[in-house]
Structure formats: structure tokens, C-alpha cells
Amino acid sequence: MEDKVSKKSFVEGLKEFFRKDLVQYIVKRVLMFFPTLLLISILVFFVIQLPPGDYVSAHIAALATEGELVDADYAASMRADYGLDLPVWQQYLKWVKDIIWTPSDTPYYRLYHSHHNWKYSFAYGRDVWSVVNDRLGLTIGVTAIIMLFQYLVSIPIAVYASTHQYSAGDYISAIIGFLGTAIPNFILAIVLMYLSYKWTGNANVGLFSQEMLKNGVHLYNFGEFLKRMIIPIIVIGTSGTCGIIRSVRAQMLDEVAQQYTLTARAKGVPEGKIIMKYCFRAAINPTVSGLGGVLSSLFSGSTVTALVLNMQIQGPVLYKALLSQDMYLAGAIVMIQAVLVVIGVLLSDIALAFLDPRIRYSGGGR
Amino acid sequence: MEKENIIEVKDLHVDIKMMEGTLTPVRGVNFEIKKGETLGLVGESGCGKSITCKAILGINDKKCIPSGEIVFRNEDENEVDLLKMDPKGKEIRNVRGKQISMIFQEPMVAFSPMYTIGNQINEATLLHITKDKKKAKEISLEVMRKVGIANVEKRYNQYPHEFSGGMLQRALIAMALVCNPKLLIADEPTTALDVTIQAQILELMKELQKEFDMAILFITHDLGVVAKMCDRVAVMYLGRIVETGDATTIYANPQHPYTRGLMGSVHKIGGRKDERLFSIEGTVPLAMNLPKQCGFYDRCDARIEGLCDKAEPELVEIEKGHKIACFACQNAACQAHRKEVEERLKREESTKEPVEGGKKRGKR
């Protein structure tokens, strides 16, 4: 009997969730996704075209420093090979077309068996997607662990700090919070590496041992992998953690002072439930809307810290591609990041609509 | 405690400790409410009305420290002191929302925007009466119908922002009544509403009071509302009750200068068009480091120099059920109190002066 009741109310709850206004809101937001994508792709392509010269001129200059002279005919034929001699708008159209769909009868498909041609990375001398793909799983894995750490640590601390305002714990979390925000990541990384070297004799630089690079991460060396994760987690984790603590705490304090918190208390609702049901649910809104950026940072990782710690994730690849004018690789990474930002914002908007009924009602979003 | 009383507030003080000193918004409030009766608590902004009624439920900010006694006759007819209960404990939570509930001033912010009206009305039922969600919903729908919300099935699943102000106030009343409380505290429930809606809500509250047989503590600064709603009135000024009695008596024969001032500042039908409304000069002083004098002294037009600025009058019964705290009142009981205080002051002065004089001499 008890079971039946709870099941039925669960179905009712789902129905309540997927009310017409919510579905309409989601459809609207999804439709807005495509024009945004188009604009972003145009922007990305022209931005990567902006630096003077192209990969061929950079390549020729590099050869020239080695004393090898290249004649104009060779350069022109190289440009023709890569399609760099076409007008910019034609290059753009071809770029977009190939990414969206490469037919089966093209040489690219025969070579890589993929319908999405992200073009060729000049610097790596192979397909762009294979370069990106190399580090994709790892980047997402590493960053996801760090993100998880951030939210799991910061939100409980923030709730504690706000419900015990001006207590010793509140002050301690505030001090750590400000320090973490103020100290630049790369300095913290260097200091931690130094300490690690001093205490354990191992700087724990790089995410992988040589052995792991050869054989990949498996169960038997997972412990070693986790050990190597400690410094990145602390470095990248703390800065984000502090921001989240400060914003959630401030929001919580706002909510605790709200009239409806008092109403709930006057109804006889226990203090813990008031905090979770009324205050926390409302306080989490800005954090959820901040999740929009998380997807893209999952992909790129933290570039500067990754360089310092020699982490094999996506950030440094983009950095090098930009330096060497490897335009298709840079374009692919920037484009994928931009798309992830848009998807992230879309997802966080939908999450917000779930959380806050007022957003679906107005239908606007942010 | 008398048998017909549902609640007795005895010598209630509320202190707020601040950096600058101690603020005392409530300084010795006494009143009682009988079963099924409506007591109007009247006074201007900042006189401690809201803090008094929040103290009853123990939902004041934790900086507010109450003292005194609030004796409540609970559902088992036992007398309990609400102030002795832990404000976060289970005992007082069983009183809140179930035996005493509260309606707030602004319905628009009294509901959380995140949950449906139904969810929030249900909450008290699920806490106090039944764990069965279906039954709780039925109870909620029933109460919503009673407070005059049309189309309850649909309204039940709507969010606060889909309600108008008047409808929200009805929903708020429904939420307060859902557990059938014995005492309802209404903290200016109609202040945020427009006049036509105000009248409807007041009418509704009166009807529901009869139906549910509950007592109401009605807090307002609107004397028109008091006349319409209340059996008895307590006029509050600077954290104290200065006059209390039957509503009809107080309207016909206000005794305290402050009450008279309040009455004078109300529109009268048939009054002259060009007549200016009376207003009491000045504002309520800040309740911190108050001198030992009548709180109304600075603004009073009947003050007695040398007495009102030296001592604070106590509540004295001048006729049955009509109490007043004023030295200037000509009633025999008040005059007796005045004489008593004057003599006490004289005695104190005669014992005090040599001591003070001695000090002064010592300094020289």
C-alpha cells in the first residue's frame, strides 16, 4: 500500500516536471542552438585566419633558417594542395562542409573511415581528429575528476560556512578561499612540485610514468596514476573551489534571510530540511548556470598549469598549434570548445529550468 | 492560568545584543487571549509588534534573546511555557504550524518560488498529521476550497508566480489553517493588498475563525481593520502595552494620549473636507539605553513634568477589562497609581540626595 502511493506520486511528480511550458522552453533553447553554431563557426574560422601568413609561409621560413631555399612554384603547389590558395569564404565553406559530412568516395574517407573531415594538421603531419582524439579521453577523465573534487568539497563547506556564519570554521574557509583565489595556479604548481621533490624525492611531474605511456592506464597502475593526480587536483581544484565556496555561501546567506525561510520555520519544518529544501535549492542556481563553462574546460583542461606540470592534456596542444599557425588543428580545438560551451550553456539552462519554475514561465532564459 | 485562556504572555522581554549596546524592542509585554477570541495588537512601525508574535513561535532571529513567560494551553489541555522550549527542538516544532500558526505580511515573498503551492501547503500536514501523501493532498484541496480558491485541482500544481497577490494571501491562509490550529497569529495580513481584496480577506478570516473555532492574534497598524475584526485591543508603544480593553470601549473612550492620537489620525466619514488629519509629532525612539521615563513622554501632549520623565507608569485597570498605563488619566485608579509612584520617587530622592551630594563634595 505504502509502495503504491509513493510510486503514483513519483509518476505525478514526473508529469509535473514535464509540463508543457518546460517542453516548450527546451525546444526553444535547442532551436536557438543552430544559428549560434553557425555564427561561432564563422567567427572561429576568421579568427584563425587573422595572423599574417599561413602554415606554408611559416614552414618555408622554418626551412630557410635551416639553409634550405624553397622556390615560389613549390610554395604555390603546396598551397594548392591544402586549398590555401582559394578565397577565404570558399575555404570556410569547404571547411564546414567537410566537417559536417565527407562522402564515402573521397580519399579522406577511404583513409580514415570517418565522415567528418577536420582536415590536416601540418605540424603533426596527420589527421587533425586523430591528434585531438589522442588526448580526448584523458583530458576529459582528468578534468572530470578535478571538477568532481571541486563541487564535492566546496558545496558542503559553503553550506557549513553559511549556516555557521562568523564561526571559526567560516573564517578558516574564508581565509583558505581567498588564498586559493589569490595565488596564481602555476606558482602553486611549482611550489607543490618543489615540496613533493623535497619530501618524497619525486616531483611527480607529468601525469604518466614512461611505463604508463607505453601500456596505458590499467587497474594495476591506477594507484600510481592517482598519486600523480594529487598535485593537479590541488592546484586546479583549489582555485575553482574557492570561487564556488564564496558564491554559494553568499547566496545561502541571502536565502536564509528570505521571508519564505521564516514561513517554513513557522510551519514547524526542521532546520535541516529548511536549509536543504528552501535555501540550498535556491542558492545553487548561479552555480548551475556556471556549469555551462565546465564542459569546455573539461575538454581543454587548464593550459598554463598543464604546461607547468607537463600534463598530457588538450590545453598545451592548442597552445602549440596557435604558435605554429597550425590553423586546422587550432580551428578544430577552438571550434569544439566553442560548441561545448554552447552545449554546456544549453544544458545548464535546461537544468535551471528544472530547478527554477520562474525561468520556464518567462520562457526567456538568460 | 485561567481556564478559558489559550495563551498568556507574561512580562515578555526581548533583547538584541549588538555592537553598540543592547536593543530592547519588547520591554515587559503582558496579554492573554481567550479561546475563540480575536485580540488586536496595534501600534506604529518599530514598536515591537512583530517581534512579540515571532517570540511566541520562537522564530525570531537567533540574536533576539527573549525572557519572561509565554504559557500556552496545548492540544492536551496542558499548560506549557513556549519560551522554555529549545527553538530548534522537536517540542516547539510540534507547536508551530500545528497548534499555533502564522500568516505573514507579504504573501508574495512568504512562498518559496521553487515549489508549487500544493507542495508548500502539504508540508505542514505531512509533518504533523499524516504521512500519506494522497490524504495530505485531499486535506490541502479541502482547505484551499474553503479559503475561496477556485479551480483548486489546477491551482494546486501552480507556482506562486502564477497567483495574484490576493489569491496568494488566500493560499497563505490555507497553509496556516491546514492543521486546524488553535491560535492563528496574523502579522499585518492585509497591509500588502489593495482595499477591495483587504475587505474580502478580512471577511474570510472571520468566517474561518468561526468554522475552525480558533483564537486570532491580529497585528496591524490599521485601526479600521481592528474595529472590523477584533474583540479586544492592545495598544503597543515602544515595546510596552499602554492601553488594552474591549474594542468597543477603546473606540468609544480611548484614555491613553497615544491611543487618542491614533484615533485622531483616522479618516472620519462626515468630517469636514478641509480638516487636516491629526498626526502624532516625532517618531518612536530607538529602544536602546532608554531613560527611566514614560516611553511616550517626548511626543505626549498631556505629560506631567517632573513625573512622566522620572518614572514609567504601569498598566492599571480603570474599569473591567480596560487597562491603561498613564499618570495623566483622571480616573481614580490611575490617580492612585500616580500618588503611589510620586511618593516612591520622593522617598528615593530623599535617600539618594545625600549620597550624590557626598560624591560631589568628595570631588571638590
Strand, helix or coil for residue B276: coil
Distances (CA, A) of A140 to A150, A224, A244: 15, 19, 21
How sure is the predictor about B26, in pLDDT bands with cuts at 50, 70 and 90? very high
- The Cα–Cα gap between A317 and B363 comes to 86
Question: Which residues of B fall within a CB distance of 8 Å from A358?
Answer: 113, 159, 161
Q: Side chain identity at A76, as an amino acid letter?
A: A
Residue environment code for A295-318, b if the CB has 16+ CB neighbours within 10 A, otherwise e? bbbbbbbbbebbebbebbbbbbbb
* pLDDT score for B117: 94
Distances (CA, A) of A360 to A29, A178, A278, B163: 11, 36, 19, 16
Among B304, B288, B317, CA closest to B345: B304
Mean pLDDT of B31-41: 93
Contact at CB, B109 and A357, closer than 8 angstroms:
no
* pLDDT score for A4: 46
Residue B68 pLDDT > 50: yes
Q: Which residue has the higher pLDDT, A15 or A342?
A: A342
Residue A5 pLDDT > 50: no
ipTM reported for the complex surpasses 0.90: no
Mean pLDDT of B99-117: 91
**What residues contact residue A358 under an 8 Å CB cut-off, 6+ apart?**
B113, B159, B161
E strand residue ranges, chain A: 120-121, 126-127
Residue environment code for B218-250, b if the CB has 16+ CB neighbours within 10 A, otherwise e? bbbbbbebbebbbbbbbbbbbbbbbbbbbbebb
Nine-digit cell at B98? 500545528
B302-319 confidence digits (pLDDT tens) = 888 888 888 888 888 888
* pLDDT score for B278: 76
E strand residue ranges, chain B: 5-18, 21-34, 38-42, 64-73, 79-81, 100-103, 183-187, 215-220, 232-237, 240-246, 316-319, 322-324
- What is the percentage of chain B residues whose pLDDT exceeds 90? 41
Among A273, A269, A258, CA closest to B98: A269
Among the residues of B147-256, which ranges form H helices?
Answer: 152-156, 165-177, 195-212, 223-229, 247-252
Q: What CA dihedral angle connects A140, A141, A143 and A148, to 10 degrees?
A: 120
Distances (CA, A) of B171 to A190, B57, B135, B140, B147: 60, 21, 18, 10, 7
Residue environment code for B31-42, b if the CB has 16+ CB neighbours within 10 A, otherwise e? bbbbebbbbbbb
* pLDDT score for A249: 92
- The Cα–Cα gap between A147 and B112 comes to 30
Relative to beta strand B64-73, strand B5-18 is: antiparallel
Which residue from A264, A266, A281 is facing B101, i.e. has the nearest CB?
Answer: A266
Contact at CB, A9 and B175, closer than 8 angstroms:
no
Contact between residue A56 and residue A78 where contact means Cβ atoms under 8 Å apart: yes
- The Cα–Cα gap between B166 and B153 comes to 18
Relative to beta strand B64-73, strand B79-81 is: antiparallel
Chain B residues at the A interface, defined by Cβ less than 8 Å, are 57, 59, 88, 93-98, 101-102, 104, 106, 109-116, 123-124, 127-128, 132-134, 157, 159, 161-162, 172, 175
- What is the percentage of chain A residues whose pLDDT exceeds 70? 87
* pLDDT score for B357: 46
If one counts every other C-beta atom within 10 angstroms of the C-beta of residue A44, the result is 22
Instruction: Give B100→chain A minimum CA distance, Å.
Output: 9
Write down the mean pLDDT value for chain A.
80
Q: Which residue, among B19, B104, B112, would best test binding to A if mutated, counting the most A CBs under 10 Å from its CB?
A: B112
Among B350, B314, B349, B344, CA closest to B329: B314
Mean pLDDT of A344-359: 84
User: Please, is A82 exposed, middle or buried when counting C-beta atoms within 10 Å of its C-beta (0-12, 13-18, 19+)?
Assistant: middle
How sure is the predictor about B77, in pLDDT bands with cuts at 50, 70 and 90? confident
* pLDDT score for A362: 55
* pLDDT score for B145: 92
Q: What CA dihedral angle connects B281, B332, B254 and B216, to 10 degrees?
A: 110
CA angle centred on B17, ends B11 and B18, rounded to 5°:
145
- The Cα–Cα gap between B221 and B2 comes to 29
* pLDDT score for A178: 83
How sure is the predictor about B363, in pLDDT bands with cuts at 50, 70 and 90? very low
Q: Which of A36-50, A59-73, B34-48 has the lowest mean pLDDT?
A: A59-73
Distances (CA, A) of B258 to A17, A237, B102, B263, B279: 55, 63, 28, 9, 11
Residue B359 pLDDT > 50: no
Residue A3 pLDDT > 60: no
How sure is the predictor about A211, in pLDDT bands with cuts at 50, 70 and 90? low
Which residue from B93, B113, B124 is facing A270, i.e. has the nearest CB?
Answer: B93
Contact at CB, B88 and A271, closer than 8 angstroms:
yes
Contact between residue B41 and residue B49 where contact means Cβ atoms under 8 Å apart: yes
* pLDDT score for B14: 93
B318-335 confidence digits (pLDDT tens) = 888 899 998 988 888 888
Nine-digit cell at A175? 581565509
Contact between residue A275 and residue A161 where contact means Cβ atoms under 8 Å apart: no
User: Please, is B77 exposed, middle or buried when counting C-beta atoms within 10 Å of its C-beta (0-12, 13-18, 19+)?
Assistant: exposed
How sure is the predictor about A14, in pLDDT bands with cuts at 50, 70 and 90? low
* pLDDT score for B160: 92
| pTM across the whole model | 0.77
Q: Which residue, among B88, B114, B140, would best test binding to A if mutated, counting the most A CBs under 10 Å from its CB?
A: B114
Gap between the terminal Cα atoms of chain B: 56
Residue B234 pLDDT > 70: yes
Instruction: Give B283→chain A minimum CA distance, Å.
Output: 26
Residue A214 pLDDT > 70: no
Mean pLDDT of A240-262: 89
* pLDDT score for A217: 67
The size of the A-B interface in CB pairs under 8 A is 84
Mean pLDDT of B268-274: 69
B170-225 confidence digits (pLDDT tens) = 999 999 999 989 999 999 888 878 888 888 889 999 999 998 889 999 998 888 88
How sure is the predictor about B93, in pLDDT bands with cuts at 50, 70 and 90? very high
Strand, helix or coil for residue A326: coil
Strand arrangement of the beta sheet that strand B5-18 belongs to:
B21-34, B5-18, B64-73, B79-81
Q: Which of A207-211, A248-252, B36-40, B329-333 has the lowest mean pLDDT?
A: A207-211
Contact at CB, B162 and A266, closer than 8 angstroms:
no
If one counts every other C-beta atom within 10 angstroms of the C-beta of residue B328, the result is 19
Q: Which of A77-91, B51-65, B197-211, B270-284 has the lowest mean pLDDT?
A: B270-284
Nine-digit cell at B283? 517618531
* pLDDT score for A339: 85
Residue B244 pLDDT > 70: yes
* pLDDT score for B246: 93
A280-316 confidence digits (pLDDT tens) = 988 988 888 888 777 777 676 677 777 777 777 778 8
A185-209 confidence digits (pLDDT tens) = 888 888 888 888 888 777 666 666 6
If one counts every other C-beta atom within 10 angstroms of the C-beta of residue A275, the result is 21
Contact at CB, A268 and B161, closer than 8 angstroms:
no
Strand partners, B16: B23, B64
Mean pLDDT of A90-111: 82
* pLDDT score for A106: 78
Strand partners, B73: B79
Contact at CB, B96 and A268, closer than 8 angstroms:
yes
Among A333, A256, A262, CA closest to A301: A333
Write down the mean pLDDT value for chain B.
87
Q: Which residue has the higher pLDDT, B37 or A17?
A: B37
Question: Which residues of A fall within a CB distance of 8 Å from B104?
Answer: 259, 262-263, 266
Q: What is the DSSP string of A267-310?
A: TT--HHHIIIIIIIHHHTHHHHHHGGGHHHHHHH--HHHHHHHT
**What residues contact residue A152 under an 8 Å CB cut-off, 6+ apart?**
none
Nine-digit cell at A366? 538568460
